[in-house]
């Protein structure tokens, strides 16, 4: 698919999400939040679900956690405009409850299509919920900040920015992980070939993981 077609396909997909009624969450949302960022982003961030402010504005990570994410991105040398940011489910669960399994199942094809279209080199999971979507059962306190290669992508788990806001003791860990992420992105830019890619993977491939398995 050419670049223009990819951009248009992503725009159409985002529009499809905005009008989706596949699960009960459509009835209580103000706006669906498809995601935001360029169609060819090297890095995709995936959180859990939109919150209050995201639901109001139809944009991901615009509340306090979003402002902290912006700060972490700046510290890592990444610009928000160059990364794609989305969530596992695209509509806010009432009272910010966890998304239910059938809601995740209904919404999952949208995330799969976003990953396929954007084809990011690195997927950063924000928090335990997003981590478990791709690597079930992994402990966020054990694997945060350690890239894991799954198929052709690197998965880079970090704590959710909201965790850093609610529990300041996590902030130094978050900041250190984002510093490592910045180094990883820089190294990939300088050495985009697969051999360097392997060397950059500091975390051994192991365990069962879902998601992209193409080589």
> Which listed residue (107, 111, 154, 158) binds ligand SF4 by CB under 6 A?
107
Compute the least distance from the CB of residue 19 to ligand SF4, in Å: 9
- The tokens describing 87, both together, are 């969530």
Cβ proximity to ligand SF4, 29 vs 148, nearer residue: 29
- The tokens describing 52, both together, are 């209050």
Cβ proximity to ligand SF4, 107 vs 150, nearer residue: 107
List 149's β-bridge partners, or say none: 154
> Which listed residue (91, 117, 131, 209) binds ligand SF4 by CB under 6 A?
91
Q: Residue 17 burial by CB count (10 A; 0-12/13-18/19+): exposed, middle or buried?
A: buried
* Cα separation, 104 vs 49, whole angstroms: 10
User: SS3 of 195, please?
Assistant: helix
Compute the least distance from the CB of residue 129 to ligand SF4, in Å: 14
Compute the least distance from the CB of residue 155 to ligand SF4, in Å: 22
For 72, the enclosing helix (H) or strand (E) is: helix 64-76
| Cβ contact 35:85 at 8 Å | yes
* Cα separation, 98 vs 2, whole angstroms: 38
Site string for ligand SF4, 9-38 (x = CB under 6 A): --------x--xxxx-xx-----x------
Compute the least distance from the CB of residue 30 to ligand SF4, in Å: 12
Compute the least distance from the CB of residue 112 to ligand SF4, in Å: 12
Q: Is 135 in the site for ligand SF4 (CB under 6 A)?
A: no
Cβ neighbours of 11 (radius 10 Å): 12
Compute the least distance from the CB of residue 58 to ligand SF4, in Å: 12
> Which listed residue (88, 89, 162, 181) binds ligand SF4 by CB under 6 A?
89
* Cα separation, 53 vs 120, whole angstroms: 26
Cβ proximity to ligand SF4, 9 vs 173, nearer residue: 9
| Cβ contact 157:123 at 8 Å | no
Number of residues that bind ligand SF4 (CB under 6 A): 14
* Cα separation, 50 vs 93, whole angstroms: 8
Chain residues binding ligand SF4 by CB under 6 A are 17, 20-23, 25-26, 32, 89-91, 103, 106-107
């Amino acid at each position: 698919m050419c670049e223009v077609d990819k951009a248009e396909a992503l725009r159409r997909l985002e529009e499809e999400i905005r009008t989706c009624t596949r699960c009960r969450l459509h009835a209580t949302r103000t706006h669906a939040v498809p995601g935001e960022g360029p169609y060819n982003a090297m890095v995709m961030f995936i959180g859990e679900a939109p919150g209050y402010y995201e639901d109001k504005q139809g944009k991901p990570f615009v509340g306090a956690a979003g402002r902290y994410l912006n700060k972490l991105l700046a510290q890592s040398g990444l610009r928000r405009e160059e990364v794609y940011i989305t969530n596992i489910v695209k509509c806010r669960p009432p009272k910010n409850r966890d998304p239910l399994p059938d809601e995740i199942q209904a919404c999952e094809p949208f995330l799969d299509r976003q990953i396929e279209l954007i084809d990011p080199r690195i997927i950063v999971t924000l928090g335990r919920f997003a981590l478990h979507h791709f690597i079930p059962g992994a402990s966020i306190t054990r694997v945060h900040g350690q890239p894991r290669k799954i198929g052709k992508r690197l998965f880079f788990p970090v704590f959710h920015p909201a965790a850093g806001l609610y529990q300041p003791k996590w902030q130094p860990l978050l900041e250190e992980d984002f510093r490592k992420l910045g180094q990883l992105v820089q190294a990939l830019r300088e050495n985009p070939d697969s051999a360097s890619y392997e060397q950059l993977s500091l975390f051994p491939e192991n365990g069962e993981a879902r998601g992209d398995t193409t080589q």
